[in-house]
C-alpha cells in the first residue's frame, strides 16, 4: 500500500515537472534574426558572369536555394554581408 502511494507521488511529481519544463510556443520559435546578417546567393551564368540570385536573412534559406541551383548545373556561391 505504501509502495503504491510512493510510486503515485513520484509519478505525479515527474509528470508535473515535465509539463513545466516543456517550452511554450514563443520559446520554441525560430532564433532571433540579427539585422546585420544577410546571405546573398551568387550564380555564375556563362558569359553573363556572376549574378545575384537573391538575398536571404537565414543561411538555411540561402543554402536550400544554392543546392537547387547546383542541381540545375550552375556554379553557386553564398556570401555573407
- Domain tally, the chain: 1
Q: Of 54, 52, 53, 58, nearest to 35 (Cα)? A: 58
Full-model pTM: 0.57
- Provide the residue range defining the domain that includes 52: 2-80
At 48-80, the pLDDT tens digits run 999 999 999 999 999 999 999 999 999 999 999
At 32-49, the pLDDT tens digits run 665 678 999 999 998 999
Q: Of 29, 25, 30, nearest to 60 (Cα)? A: 30
Amino acid at each position: 500500500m505504501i509502495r503504491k502511494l510512493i510510486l503515485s507521488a513520484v509519478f505525479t511529481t515527474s509528470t508535473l515537472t515535465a509539463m513545466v519544463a516543456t517550452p511554450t510556443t514563443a520559446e520554441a520559435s525560430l532564433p532571433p534574426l540579427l539585422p546585420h546578417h544577410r546571405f546573398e546567393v551568387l550564380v555564375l551564368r556563362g558569359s553573363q558572369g556572376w549574378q545575384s540570385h537573391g538575398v536571404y536573412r537565414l543561411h538555411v534559406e540561402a543554402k536550400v536555394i544554392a543546392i537547387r541551383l547546383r542541381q540545375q548545373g550552375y556554379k553557386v556561391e553564398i556570401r555573407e554581408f
